[in-house]
Amino acid sequence: MFLSEVIALLRLGVEDMAKISEIAQTFGLDFDDSYQYVAAEKFNLELLSFDRDFDRTPRGRKTLEEVM
Per-residue pLDDT of the chain (68 residues; tens, 9 = 90+): 455 567 788 899 999 999 999 999 999 999 999 999 999 999 999 999 999 999 999 999 999 999 88
CA distance 52 to 39: 18
CA distance 7 to 18: 27
* Nearest Cα residue to 50 out of 38, 39, 63, 67: 63
pLDDT the model gives residue 46:
94
Is the CB of residue 23 less than 8 Å from the CB of residue 37? yes
pTM of structure: 0.84
CA distance 28 to 66: 25
Please report, in angstroms and rounded to a whole number, the separation of the first and last CA atoms in the chain. 9
